[in-house]
Chain A
Amino acid sequence: MNNKKKKKLITTKRVVLSALVLGVVIFALYVAISQSLASRVSRELTVEEAQKIVDERIATLPKAQADIAVFMTQNMSVDVKSVEPGEDKSLVLDCDVVTYDIYDVVEENLDKYLSLAYKLDHERIEKGLPKANSTVVRLNIKAEVNKDFEAAKRLEKNIKLRIYEIADNEFSLYLSDEVIDSLYGNYKKTIALVNNSETCTVDGEEVTIKNNIPYKTGIIECFTLNNYDSKKPDTSIPEVKWLNSVKNEFVRNFLDRDDGRPRYMYIVDGLKNTILVTLAALLIGIVIGFIVAVIRVTNETTGALDFGAWICKIYLSIMRGTPLMIQLLIIYFVILLPAGVGSIPSAIVCFGLNSGAYVSEIVRGGIMSVDKGQMEAGRSLGFTYIQTMYHIVLPQAFKAVLPSLANEFITLLKETSVAFYIGVADLTLGGLKIRSITYSSFMPLVAIAIVYLILVLGLSKLVELLERRLRKGDNR
C-alpha cells in the first residue's frame, strides 16, 4: 500500500517534470528560431528576379488588387533603383510610376457624366420607353470615363513595392498600403463628389437630380475597388509563423479588451459561478443523499417508513431516469422561472437534486458496509436508531464512501457545464462567449477544458488529504 503510493507520487512528479522540460524546450526553440531569423540579412535581388516575382504574385492576387498591380506595372519602368533589407526583413523596390489622378479627372468631368446619364433616361422617357437600367448607364459612363482617362495628363509618382523574403530564396510581392490607399482615397473622394452633386447642366440648362437614382450608382461603380486586403503578410518561416499565430490567437482570445476588460475575465467570472454552483449543489446533494439513504436503509432493515421509502424510490427513478439537461430545463423554465427564481439558484437546486440521487445510492452502500454490530452496540447503550445512525454508523459510512463521493463530486463539477443552457454565466459560457467574439474555437475551448481539469485534479488532491486525515489512528 505504502509502496504503491510512493510509486504514484513518483509518477506524478515525473509527469510534472517532463511537462516543465517540454515547455522550456519549446520556448527555447521559439527564441532560437526568431533570433536566427532576425539576424539573417537578406541577399540582394536582381531585376529579373523581381520582375518574375511581381508577375507570379500578380497571378495570385484577388481581381481588384491584380487590376491595380497590372495597371501600375504596365505604366512603371521596372527600374530597381535600390534593393535594401528593410527592418521587417523585406526588400523594397523603389519604382517611378506614371499614374492617373482619378480624382482630378472625375472632378473635371463630373457634370458631363451626370448630364450624360440624365439624357440617357430622358431620351427614353420622351420616346415612351421605361427608364434605362443602371448597367446600361454604367457602361456608357465607363466608356466616357476611360476616354477621358486616356486623354488626361499623367502624374509621375514614386511608389514602393515591397518584396518580402518569406524563406530562403522565397520571395513574395506585397503592394504597400500607400499605393492602394492613394487609389482608394481618390475613389472615396470621388464617391463623395458624386453623392453631393444635386445639379448638372444639360444642353446649357441646369437640372436638379435626385438622390439614389440609378445613374448615380452607375458612376460610383465605375470606380469601385472591391475589398482589398491591406493587412501585412506574415513574413516568417513556417515554424515561426505557426508560433506567431499561436501567440496572436492567445492575445486575441484572452488579452484583448472588450469595454476595458481583458477577455480572460469571461473565464474568471465563469469560474466563480461554476464553483458557486458546484459547491452549493454539492452541499444540497450530500444532505439529500444522506437523508434518502438513511430512509431507504431504515426501511430495508426495520420495515419502518414505508411511505418515505416510496417517495425516495420515485425521486430516485426520476432523477436517474431522465437526462440532466432535461431536468435543468424543466426545473428552470417550467417551475422556477415562473416563480421568479434566477438561473443560478435554479441550477443549484437542479444539480443538488440530481446529485442527491447518486449520493444516496453511494451512501446506502456505505451504510450497508458498516458492521451490523455497530448498530447493536449503539442501541444496547441506549441510543435511539437515529442517534446511533448519526453518531456511530454514518461517520464510518462516510469514510468508507469518500472515494466514491469524490468521484460523484468530480462528475458534478463537470456536469455543471450544461448550466449555460439556462443562461448561467459559468465557465463553459465564458469560453463560448470568447468564441463568439473571436470566432476561434481552439483557444477558448481548450482553455476551459484545462480549467476544468485543474479543478478536478485539485478536488482529487483535497479528497486524498481528507482521506488520509480520516484514516489517522484507524487502520480499518
Chain B
Amino acid sequence: MITVKNLYKNFGENDEIKVLLGIDEHIEKGEKVVIIGPSGGGKSTFLRCLNRLEEPTSGEIWFGDECITDKKCNINKLRMKMGMVFQHFNLFPHKSVMENITLAPIKLLGMSKEEAEKEAAELLGMVGLADRADAYPSQLSGGQKQRVAIARALAMKPDVMLFDEPTSALDPELVGEVLNVMKKLANDGMTMVCVTHEMGFAREVGTRVLFMCDGKIAESGTPEEIFTNPQNPRTKQFLQSIL
C-alpha cells in the first residue's frame, strides 16, 4: 500500500541537519506498523513525510499506484485517504466537536450537512463521546480531545491512519481510553502506522515493529522478534532503558 524508496530528509537552509538517511520500507494493506525508537531518531519526520507534511529531500514514496513525491500529483486528494492524528491533537478551537468532524467531509467530499452529522455521530459513538458533540475543544480533557481528533481523521474514510505519538501529551490515566479506541480501530482492519512510546500497545496491536534510530530503520520485525529477541545492539540498549 505504501512504498518508500531511498527516502532522505535534511533540515536547515544548507541541509546541514540530516534526519533521514535513506529509508526503504513497504507497508501492506491491513498492517499495523508501530515505529519505536529514541528521540531524534527521525520517527516523526518519517511519518510526516508519508503524507508530505514534511517535504522529502530526495527519494520516492508511493501510495497505492501514485507517487506522492511527484510534484505533479494531487497531494490534497491523496491526503484525504491518509488520516493523521497529532501528538497535540490540533483540534480547531473555534469549532465545536461536531463541526471539527464534519468540516472536511462537507467541504471536501461534498457531503450534505445532515449526512455528515449522521456519520459524525456514529464516529463519536465509536470513540465514546456521543454526548459531547456540541462541546468546544477547550471544554474537553486531553484524552477526549485525542479521541475527537481520531474521529475527525476517520470522517474522511481514510485507507490508512498515521498516528504521531498520539498519547505522549496525555496524562497517564487518560492514555488508556485513546489506546482502546486505536485497538478497536485495528480490530476493524484499518491500516495503521503509529509512532509511539507505548510498548504494551506496540506488542498487543502491532503486526510489525520498526525500530528507528539515527535516521535509519535499524531493525524491523514482528513484536515478538523485536521485544524478546532484538538483534541490533541499539535496539537492545533502547529496550533495556525503557522497560
Tell me whether A382 and B80 are in contact in the complex, defined as CB-CB below 8 angstroms, given that A374-B92, A399-B94 are known contacts: yes
**Bound state CA distance, A470 and B136, in angstroms?**
13
Contact of A377 with B92 in the complex, beta carbons under 8 Å: yes
Q: Is A381 an interface residue (CB 8 A)?
A: yes
Q: Across the interface, which residues of A come within 8 angstroms of B93, CB to CB?
A: 396, 474, 476
- How close is A108's CB to chain B, nearest CB, in angstroms? 100
Q: Is A336 an interface residue (CB 8 A)?
A: no
Contact of B86 with A381 in the complex, beta carbons under 8 Å: no
Q: Which of A377, A395, A399, A474 contacts B86 (CB 8 A)?
A: A377
Report the count of interface residues on A (CB-CB < 8 A): 22
- How close is A33's CB to chain B, nearest CB, in angstroms? 60
Contact of B80 with A381 in the complex, beta carbons under 8 Å: yes
- How close is B94's CB to chain A, nearest CB, in angstroms? 5
Contact of B108 with A376 in the complex, beta carbons under 8 Å: no
Q: Across the interface, which residues of B come within 8 angstroms of A380, CB to CB?
A: 51, 53, 79, 82-84, 86, 153
Contact of A374 with B90 in the complex, beta carbons under 8 Å: yes
Q: Across the interface, which residues of A come within 8 angstroms of B124, CB to CB?
A: none
Contact of A381 with B108 in the complex, beta carbons under 8 Å: yes
**Bound state CA distance, A80 and B149, in angstroms?**
104
Interface of A is mostly: helix
Contact of A391 with B79 in the complex, beta carbons under 8 Å: no
In the complex, per-residue mask of A438-476: 1 if CB is within 8 Å of any chain B CB, else 0: 000000000000000000000000000000001001111
Contact of A474 with B153 in the complex, beta carbons under 8 Å: no
Q: Which of B86, B88, B107 contacts A383 (CB 8 A)?
A: B107
Contact of A476 with B138 in the complex, beta carbons under 8 Å: yes
Contact of B108 with A373 in the complex, beta carbons under 8 Å: no
Closest-by-CB residue of B relative to A387 is B107
Q: Is A162 an interface residue (CB 8 A)?
A: no
Q: Across the interface, which residues of B come within 8 angstroms of A376, CB to CB?
A: 53, 86, 90
List residues 97-116 of chain B with CB under 8 A from any CB of chain A. 103-104, 107-108
Q: Is B96 an interface residue (CB 8 A)?
A: yes
Q: Across the interface, which residues of A come within 8 angstroms of B94, CB to CB?
A: 395-396, 399, 470, 474, 476
The residue among A374, A382, A384 with the most chain B CB atoms within 10 A of its own CB is A382
Q: Across the interface, which residues of A come within 8 angstroms of B6, CB to CB?
A: none
- How close is A228's CB to chain B, nearest CB, in angstroms? 76
**Bound state CA distance, A210 and B68, in angstroms?**
109
Q: Across the interface, which residues of B come within 8 angstroms of A371, CB to CB?
A: 88, 90
List residues 370-411 of chain A with CB under 8 A from any CB of chain B. 371, 373-374, 376-377, 379-384, 387, 391-392, 395-396, 399
**Bound state CA distance, A381 and B77, in angstroms?**
9
Q: Across the interface, which residues of A come within 8 angstroms of B32, CB to CB?
A: none
Q: Across the interface, which residues of B come within 8 angstroms of A476, CB to CB?
A: 93-94, 138
Contact of A391 with B103 in the complex, beta carbons under 8 Å: yes
**Bound state CA distance, A379 and B76, in angstroms?**
7
Q: Across the interface, which residues of B come within 8 angstroms of A379, CB to CB?
A: 53, 76, 79
Q: Is B213 an interface residue (CB 8 A)?
A: no
16 contacts between A and B (CB under 8 A): A376-B53, A376-B86, A376-B90, A379-B76, A380-B83, A382-B77, A382-B79, A382-B156, A383-B104, A384-B76, A392-B92, A395-B94, A399-B94, A470-B94, A473-B96, A473-B136
Q: Which residues of B contact A (CB under 8 A)?
A: 51, 53, 76-77, 79-80, 82-84, 86, 88, 90-94, 96, 103-104, 107-108, 136, 138-139, 149, 152-153, 156
Please provide the 7 A-B residue pairs with the shortest distance between their CB atoms, ordered closest to farther: A382-B80, A377-B90, A373-B90, A380-B84, A381-B104, A382-B79, A475-B138
